[in-house]
């Protein structure tokens, strides 16, 4: 191997690591900016207000029904302050039983709701913006599941955004373990004032906003979309 080769490889590696670090700093700064702007609209950072909750935003990855990330890399997890407080109470209840929450979605930018409806509006999963906005877009709804204290996701009736016929909250699942897991999750959420959507076991609405629409908050106003 020529003597210069190891030095060149070292330089290339340093450059790559430097670029990665710079990108991470840029993403962190963009997230801080988005959280600061969100505060002007009554949204708070779930990571900071609900200790112990696991954030796993499915629309920030390719692991969703579109097969591609819909959220930017620096997407914060946001909810209205009063809804986040309800979530905090549910997390406290579950932690006392040896569980914790895993969030799949919270505030959803209307820009993403539009894309989801275009892609899969026929499934019934996504409300048409022409009819009305999802409560997600106002920060008063969330999608969640249950995991144990070690972070293992527990078995539930279906996967996220999957199999609507089997996803009903009141479905009598034949597996007793799944029935128990779902009961634990739903009881803690109901006690905190987060009401399960009848057709989607993972979706919960803030009881104070079931019949009280809230303004949608656009991602562009938080610097997340052009």
CATH of the domain at 14: 3.30.1380.10
- Tell me the pLDDT of the chain (226 aa) as tens digits: 455 566 656 555 565 555 555 666 666 787 789 999 999 999 999 999 999 999 999 999 999 999 999 999 899 999 999 999 999 999 999 999 999 999 999 999 999 999 999 998 888 889 899 899 999 999 999 999 999 999 999 999 999 998 788 898 887 889 999 999 999 999 999 999 999 999 999 999 999 999 888 899 999 999 999 8
Nearest to 141 by CA among 204, 208, 78, 211: 204
Task: Give the pLDDT score at 1.
Answer: 47
Which residue segment(s) compose the domain that 107 sits in?
4-222
- SS3 for 170-208 is CCCCCCHHHHHHHHHHHHHHHHCCEEEECCEEEEEEEHH
The domain tally of the chain equals 1
**Orientation angle between helical segments 81-96 and 176-191, nearest 10 degrees:** 130
Q: What is the pLDDT of residue 29?
A: 80
Give residue 17's pLDDT: 52
- The pLDDT score that the predictor gives to residue 165 is 82
Q: Report pLDDT for 31.
A: 75
Cα-Cα-Cα-Cα torsion 66, 67, 73, 79, nearest 10 degrees, comes to 40
pLDDT of residue 101: 98
Tell the burial category of 142 from Cβ atoms under 10 Å away from its Cβ (0-12, 13-18, 19+).
buried
């Amino acid at each position: 191997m020529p003597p210069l080769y190891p030095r060149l490889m070292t330089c290339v590696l340093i450059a790559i690591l430097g670029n990665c670090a710079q990108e991470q700093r840029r993403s962190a700064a963009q997230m801080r900016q988005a959280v600061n702007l969100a505060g002007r609209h009554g949204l708070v950072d779930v990571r900071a207000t609900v200790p112990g909750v696991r954030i796993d935003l499915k629309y920030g990855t390719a692991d969703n029904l579109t097969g591609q990330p819909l959220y930017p890399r620096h997407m914060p997890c946001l909810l209205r302050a009063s809804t986040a407080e309800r979530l905090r109470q549910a997390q406290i209840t579950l932690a006392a039983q040896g569980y914790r929450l895993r969030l799949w979605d919270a505030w959803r930018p209307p820009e993403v709701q539009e894309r989801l409806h275009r892609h899969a509006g026929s499934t019934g999963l996504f409300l048409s913006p022409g009819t009305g906005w999802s409560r997600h877009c106002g920060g008063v709804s969330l999608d969640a599941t249950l995991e144990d204290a070690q972070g293992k996701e527990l078995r539930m009736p279906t996967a996220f955004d999957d199999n609507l016929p089997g996803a009903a909250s009141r479905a009598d699942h034949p597996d007793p373990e799944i029935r128990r897991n779902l009961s634990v999750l739903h009881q803690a959420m109901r006690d905190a004032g987060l009401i399960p959507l009848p057709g989607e076991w993972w979706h919960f609405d803030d009881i104070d906003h079931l019949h009280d629409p809230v303004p949608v908050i656009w991602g562009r106003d938080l610097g997340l979309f052009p």
